[in-house]
Structure 1
Amino acid sequence: MARLAALHAALADPARLQIVDVLALGDAAPSELAELLGVGSNLLAHHLKVLEREGMVVRTRSEGDGRRWYVRLVPETLDAVQVRPVREVARVLFVCTANSARSHLATALWRRVSTVPTASAGTHPAGRIAPGAMAAARRHGLDLPAITPQHVESVRARGDLVVTVCDRAHEELQFPVDVHWSVPDPIGPGTPAAFDDALADLERRANALAPHLALRPA
């Protein structure tokens, strides 16, 4: 009962409820949260401290700009919290830097959990999908065709819900991003375990996002 009371006390503020609502679908930098809420950095820091104290959110350092941090929701602490309603979209577009691992794995997972169409792209496309990503897909029974990575500007279309799955892509895109997932890059370590960890992270996030999206009527 004491834990439940502490949880409700931490959420007893409209700004903190809005932070939870935003983070329920993806990660955000403190500066992005401050801008969204229209509050100063000191007030935002207070709200984040309250949520961190109860284990509702954690911070991770950006793999792109090491001076930057992202705030992530710890969803198992908030199973009883109602998040945002269903949103209608034409397609879900997953974007990473090279379009060679995380974004392709995300699309393969998305096809497993949702009927909303999906595609992937990169800000600096590689020449091919990483062999480690292909191997991880095979290990987990995912349909991942060996297609050529594409640039985001040639793939993005009107009505897309854009989900960045790497920090570098999120930080350099020049158009608004709908959802950000701060997923560590498995290509650096290059081990099967690193790709499996990224896949597990993406799967958890896809399962959380899917119930809140529906296909927009033609």
Structure 2
Amino acid sequence: MNTESVDAFQARVAKHAALADPARLRIVDLLTLGDFSPTELQAELGMPSNLLSHHLRTLEGAGLATRHRSEADRRRSYIRLAAGALEGLAPGVEHGATRVLFVCTRNSARSQLAAALWQQVSEIPSTSAGTRPADRIAQGAIDVARRHGLGLADLPPRRLDQVAGVGDFVVTVCDNAHEELTILGGVHWSVPDPLRNNTEEAFEAAFTDISRRVNDLAPRVHAA
């Protein structure tokens, strides 16, 4: 009979070994919600930086986590769950919300796409806002949504303070917004800004990233 390759089996063993440690399992639980800087993880876990570094190296070595530099502050990095890392082993429902609020700086691309994608997979309402809204939704966002059969709401970009409400579950989808608004709590998705390159490929990459994250998070949020 056909079985998985030795390499695939060893990779699975490494993941199980990494997850057997309580601290690393907690880190992965957090990463299933969004991206965290090492400083944020250290605060969440209450552990010294050298011990956290050890756990992060183990998770990266097992193919469970990756890291990249912040687009806002290049001295800062974010840890994220590797794509497909858990393959059905993600934790269950954890968060209650009356609405999911996606936030980026300009509210012209990533947050708009996230809110529209959320509406496809969850009955919990969603909306979006920006810390410094643009005049209009980016054409690249409109185009990539149309290519995937998704319509963006006919709403101009809006300011966060005009939209935010009690009970919102806040998801920041750009590093600038997250680093401005950590006081809000919620979770963070470190999605690269497609407008930096403003190409079809950049918007496709952002759409794919956000779509995967929306589908991973939706089963973990319940109506409050």
- How high is the TM-score relative to the length of structure 1? 0.95
Is the deviation greater in 74-83 or in 169-178? 74-83
1:179 equivalenced with 2:187 (yes/no) = yes
Aligned to 2:3: none
Query: Aligned partners of 1:102 and 1:203: how far apart in 2?
Result: 11
Whether the 8 Å contact between 1:87 and 1:213 is mirrored in structure 2 is: yes
| Count of paired positions | 216
Aligned to 2:20: 12
1:169 equivalenced with 2:177 (yes/no) = yes
Aligned to 1:43: 51
Change (3 A) 1:174 1:204: closer
Query: Aligned partners of 1:70 and 1:141: how far apart in 2?
Result: 31
Aligned to 2:197: 189
Gaps of 5+ in 2: 1-8
Whether the 8 Å contact between 2:93 and 2:222 is mirrored in structure 1 is: no
Is the deviation greater in 130-139 or in 173-182? 173-182
Over the aligned positions, Cα root-mean-square deviation in angstroms equals: 1.3
Gaps of 5+ in 1: none
Aligned to 2:218: 210
Change (3 A) 1:39 1:189: same
State how 1:58-207 maps to structure 2 within 5 Å: 58-173=66-181, 175-207=183-215
Is the deviation greater in 139-148 or in 45-54? 139-148
Change (3 A) 1:145 1:80: closer
Q: Deviation of residue 84 (structure 1)?
A: 4.2
Q: Deviation of residue 132 (structure 1)?
A: 1.1
Q: Deviation of residue 149 (structure 1)?
A: 0.9
Whether the 8 Å contact between 1:107 and 1:118 is mirrored in structure 2 is: yes
Q: Percent of pairs identical after alignment? A: 54
